[in-house]
Amino acid sequence: MSVTNTKLLHVPYKGLGPAVVDLLAGQIQVVFDNLPSSAALIQGGKIRALAVAAPSRVKSMPDVPTYAEVGFPQLNTPSWFGLAAPAGVPEDILEKLNQGVKTVLSDPKVIASIDQQGAAPAYTSRKEFAEIIKRSNEVWKKVVEDIKFEKL
């Protein structure tokens, strides 16, 4: 809203499933979603993707422009997915999990499957992932502070 100077009403949902159901039913007009959960609906023509928050167009949806291409380069901040564990999990267990993720994300079949859903699989170390989370939190904290949400 702050970048586009658009007025939207935030409707909180308990997950994207119910939000997408309401989008399909015409109860709401727009949803900001991650491609893996919406790719099949987009490819099936049930919903229309307006733009993707990615450095370049997504291979499986080459007709969908990036935010930069439609005039909003500052919105090209891709979502990320990762694994987290409760505090106190022993280091050796965390390292085994990390190596398992690295192995899975090296498998060409897994990469192709994830890529087909509009995501870009990439392995990061635990330290790198912690930095991604830290930077992301800093960016979104500033956005929330800058918006100065109006109370309903």
Choosing from 40, 63, 79, the residue where a domain stops is 79
Reported confidence tier of residue 143, pLDDT bands at 50, 70, 90: confident
Q: State how many domains the chain has.
A: 2
Q: What is the pTM of this model?
A: 0.71
Average pLDDT over residues 83-109: 94
Nearest alpha carbon to residue 38 among 82, 79, 84: 79
- Residue 142 pLDDT: 82
Q: Residues 61, 116: one domain? A: no
> By residue range, what is the domain housing residue 114?
80-152
Choosing from 79, 107, 124, the residue where a domain stops is 79
Q: What is the pLDDT of residues 5-50, one digit of tens each?
A: 788 888 999 999 999 999 999 999 999 988 888 888 998 999 999 9
Q: Residues 73, 47: one domain? A: yes
Q: What secondary structure letter does DSSP report for 59?
A: T
- Residue 14 pLDDT: 94
